[in-house]
Amino acid sequence: MEDSLEKLLESESSEMKDELSMEIDPPFKENHATAEDWRKALHNVVPAVVVLRTTACRAFDTESAGASYATGFVVDKRRGIILTNRHVVKPGPVVAEATFVNREETPVYPIYRDPVHDFGFFRYDPAAIQFLSYEEIPLAPEAACVGLEIRVVGNDSGEKISILAGTLARLDRDAPHYKKDGYNDFNTFYMQAASGTKGGSSGSPVIDWQGRAIALNAGSKTSSASAFFFPLERVVRALNFLQKGRASGQDNWEAVSIPRGTLQTTFVHKGFDETRRLGLQTETEQLVRHASPLSETGMLVVDSVVPGGPAYNHLEPGDVLVRMNGEVTTQFLKMETLLDDSVGQNVELQFERGGTPLTVQLKVEDLHSITPNHFLEVSGAVIHPLSYQQARNFRFHCGLVYVSEPGYMLYRAGVPRHAIIKKLARKQALVVGPTLEVIKGVDVGEQVANGITNMEDSSSDNGNGNASVAERVIEPTLVMFEVYVPSSCMLDGVHSQHFVGTGVIIYHSQDMGLVAVDKNTVAISASDVMLSFAAFPIEIPGEVVFLHPVHNYAIIAYDPSALGATGASLVRAAQLLPEPGLHRGESVYLVGLSRSLQTTSRKSVVTNPCAALNISSADSPRYRATNMEVIELDTDFGSNFSGVLTDEEGRVKAIWGSFSTQIKYGVNSSEDHQFVRGIPIHSISQVLDKIISGAKAKGPSLLINGVTRPMPLVRILEVELYPTLLSKARSFGLNNNWIQALAKKDPVRRQVLRVKGCLAGSKAENLLEQGDMVLAINKKPVTCFQDVEDACHALDLSDNMEEKLQLTIFRQGCEIEVVVGTDIRDGNGTKRVINWCGCFVQEPHPAVRALGFLPEEGHGVYVTRWSHGSPVHRYGLYALQWIVEVNGKPTPDLDAFVNVTKEIEDGEFVRVRTIHLNGKPRVLTLKQDLHYWPTWELRFDPETSMWQRKTIKSLATGDNNNNKNNNSL
């Protein structure tokens, strides 16, 4: 069973407990240690143990971006040196603080992380700790022995401080194997004890009764109480180098060279019983046994060799090491000492392969030279030289171009994490530096060919054998969508970065092409849309021009000239047939595209032409279709198939679109789900007419293929409604006259509309109440959502500027008249977002307002997402809440928020007041980090029809125009 890497505790809250929880074992008397001895030892040790709160700001090497808690302890008080694990210090960029037992907090900075072994050092300013008396913990690796009683003092499972007891059981355990594609220690023994440590105790000192650290806690096995400790001999050596490199009174830390040598070879310790099976000669075994003063029981055997390393093509798995530089070598410590003292020099290895003695001279390589210390960040991707750790895991040469995080650009290209980039833009990409030069030469939006190596669906056509007339007619109008949402544009609660669906061309001319598709495929305007045409094998970009604020459809534009003369002649627009609407029992053809762009059709019958949608809110508010009636069929192709509904001549009556919802399982469990229904073409046809009419726009305009066109405006009543049968309405007291009037108005549905809720901040919010029955608008009975839309549309057609509707409602047995205002919405959707300290801040979008609550304090700005490894992750400022104050200053809107935050400097603590979606207020603090997380704004510019990114405040510039962050470690 594999050992599981000790899970670092990732706190969901930055709040820390005030009490100190110490768990002292009951007295246990032995020859040299009494309960009083342990009490004195712990009294000295506990003040020197610190809680480390670390944030990996970027994915790097074996580690992902994220925030966690761990433990460290002071090993040099005068110089301010803290010892902890390598996986705590992180191999890449890290921001960290240490909290002492008296709750004094100080920033700490990495000064060394061993390239192989699981230890590293932070430094801090000793003068910053003013109110605590403490001493450094001495290191005594020689004191470790089997049977030694120990205590592990640390932040176990987030309990600060916990003390766990144990007894050393082994000093020669194999280094634990954590995961196949992550960090693993090697070429060392570990100690083992049954102390049962858990997440957060990484880096804890393992002490004896004299208060000396005899080992460093590193990992544990989740299936048992076993804990694994790293021996301290190599730690003491590294600490001595650090101490010699910096005098105790020296102000500045300078880089200290700690020699580390390697053959890029992994050895394992095998007992003599196994080495015999590998062919070890009896004479050699006798030699080794007599040469070892420790009654040696085994030898070092080659386990793996990294390609391109000093030992490649010289050593092989199964080779049994006998001597190094003439000395019998059976222990990891002796081997590593020799290698560290021989960097750049040759060493002689004598070994046996299948019983045959062999000798080889190998040059010892500098281990730090194959340990990455810089990275390239482009479009969210993190790229750096392949480390020795990952070269071991995946058997590649060190230094190749390695993807530790694909980001947006590489994600779109299908490049996964742990990939090696061999070519970029048809040029060799063997090291990171030249790769950067290739990237600089690529224009925005340009497609380039890549060659990658991954270090780690087809659809069936269920259609009729012979294509129908409708299928043949509609095929040239169908388009397959592939939509990507950049991680920096995850607005409005959009739940994925990748969507696929089918749309239909509704307009095609020499200058402009327009395609209609559902909003579950194109959810927000800040999307990269690629269109593939059924009639012609080509893929071209599309541009989002209209997102209906209520109904589940979007309109996408494309440039017909990009199709070429042949493609433009083969592609055509569908004929739309908005009237008459579909009725129950009518035959239609469901036509769409498979993933392989094959047209598929099926003749179906309409079972319900006016099924009212009832989609509940998701856990994270996002767009959901409301106030819509959709079409249901007797047969379809499943929940992933979209397309159009046509008559026998191929005229489009509806689009067959995808809807997003969330199914809840139990109290805290839910799962994203989608279903498909027909969306009548009527509303789409109306919007299309406004776009192509060329009439002068009253409000915002569209820029489509360089031509300015009017932006269709939609007047809406910001109220969510749902239908109730008249039979139910009668039981609520609705009188017979109204029941007869509504039944006469709509003898098929025989229903009345009721208020489910008003959008927070809407003009109807304080006028209509949940449960109100809407009987008439402007004295005309209404029974369906279309009646309400028609009433709103009539306001636009009238000559007067009246923006209100007179509603007749039935509330608690009384019929009353209410005048309610309407709102005009365009098709742009959210047009602005601010990224501050790693959180995405925007104005509350309609799905948030539909919950019916906004903060009273002048509203506020809404946190829609947050980034791993950011300050908001570190301090617990998560999504689904409003920021209403920053440092005591109100932030009612984005402009106010920018004005407040741009005055905050790097490293400055900020007090933030938030209101959660459930109305619960909270105050928290976080520290701004402009080095890795500058403040920037993304805004849609209607003049250019482009999203523009602008840096508001960064560390490097001090102005608001540029962002030149130094991404070196």
Distance CA 442, CA 187 (A): 43
Q: How far is CA 180 from CA 65, 390, 765, in A?
A: 19, 9, 56
Which of 127, 4, 112 has its CA nearest to residue 77? 127
Task: State how far the Cα of 96 lies from the Cα of 106, in Å rounded to an integer.
Answer: 9
620 in active site: no
Q: Which of 87, 495, 508, 845 is catalytic?
A: 87
Q: Given phi > 0 = left and psi -120 to 50 = alpha, else beta, which region is 69?
A: beta
Q: Residue 785 is encoded by which pair of tokens?
A: 């959502």
Write phi, then psi, for 897 (nearest 5 degrees): -65, -45
3-state secondary structure of 327: strand
* 527's tokens: 């999307």
Burial letters for 819-845: b for 16+ Cβ neighbours within 10 Å, e otherwise? ebebbebbbbbbbebbbbbbbbbbbbb
Phi-psi domain of 415 (left: phi exceeds 0; alpha: psi -120 through 50; beta: other): beta
Contacts for 247 with CB less than 8 Å, ≥ 6 apart: none
- With a CB cutoff of 8 Å and minimum separation 6, the contacts of 509 are 560
Catalytic residue among 76, 118, 185, 340: 118
* Closest to 194 measured CA to CA, from 222, 165, 215, 217: 165
Which residue, 768, 766, 770, 772, is CA-closest to 732? 772
Judged by DSSP in three states, 315 sits in coil
Q: Is 868 a catalytic residue?
A: no
Identify the CA nearest to 384 among candidates 105, 93, 637.
93
CA pair distance 98, 49, nearest whole angstrom: 9
Q: Which is nearest to 257 in space by CA: 243, 245, 246?
A: 245
Question: CA 732, 733, 739, 741 torsion: positive or negative?
Answer: negative
Distance between CA atoms of residues 663 and 674, nearest Å:
10
Which own/partner contact pairs does 140-143 have at CB distance under 8 Å and 24+ positions apart? Answer: 140/208, 140/210, 140/212, 140/213, 140/214, 140/232, 141/214, 141/215, 141/231, 141/232, 141/233, 141/235, 141/236, 143/208, 143/210, 143/212, 143/214
On whether the CB atoms of residues 592 and 502 are closer than 8 A, the answer is yes
Look up residue 312 and give its DSSP letter: T
Question: Residue 403's closest CA among 469, 462, 453, 334?
Answer: 453
Q: Is 185 a catalytic site residue?
A: no
Q: What is the DSSP letter of 489?
A: G
Which distant-in-sequence residues (6+ apart) come within 8 Å of 487 by Cβ?
380, 407, 408, 497
What number of other Cβ atoms are within 10 A of residue 816's Cβ?
11
Q: Is the dihedral of CA 502, 521, 407, 669 positive or negative?
A: negative
Task: List the structure tokens of 880.
Answer: 């689904």
At residue 738, the 3 state secondary structure works out as: helix
Active-site entry in 201, 202, 220, 945? 201
- What are the backbone angles phi and psi of residue 277, rounded to the nearest 5°? -65, -25
Q: How far apart are CA 841 and CA 491, in angstroms?
A: 9
Active site residues: 87, 118, 201
